[in-house]
Structure 1
Amino acid sequence: MNPRISELFDRLTEIDETLKFLDPKKGEDFCRWIYFLESRDIVCMSIRRISKNINPQIPEPWASTTADEIIKGLGVYK
C-alpha cells in the first residue's frame, strides 16, 4: 500500500478511537469533537484524492498496492 495512504488510514483510526470517548453534549468536549470531525473529513478527502491520482478505476486499498504485493497475495510466483 502507498505509505502516505497507510499513514492516513492510521490517523483515521486514531481519530475514530478518540471520537468514541468524547461526549459532544459536554461543553469542553464539544469543541474537541468538532475538531476531530473536521480532521476526519480532511483525512478522508486526502485519501480519496491520492487514490484518484494513483488509479481512478481501482478503489483503495488496491490502488496503492504494488504488483508484487498483489501477486504475493494471490499466491502466484514470478
Structure 2
Amino acid sequence: MVADRKQPTSDPGAPRRAPEWADGLKQLYDSVVEEELPDSFKDLLARLDEVDPKRGPVQASDPAQSPDGRGGRP
C-alpha cells in the first residue's frame, strides 16, 4: 500500500545523487568511447569505402564478392 511506503527524510526539492555504481558505469563508457579504432577495423572501413556504388550490393552467395572472401551462409 502507498501508506506503508517510507517517506524520504531529505528535502524533496534537493537534487538526487546518482548511485555509486553509476559513476563507475559512466567511467567505463567514457573509456570505451575514447578508445582508438583497431587497425583491422580501420582497414575494413577503408575497403568498404573503395566499393564502387555503381556495382550495387554485394551478393552473399558469391565468395569473390564478399568483403571477407568467405562468402555467404551455406
Structure (1/2) with the larger helix percentage = 1
Task: Select the structure of larger CA radius of gyration.
Answer: 2
Q: Which protein has greater RCO, CA pairs closer than 8 Å, 6+ apart?
A: 1
What is the TM-score of this pair, normalised by structure 1?
A: 0.26
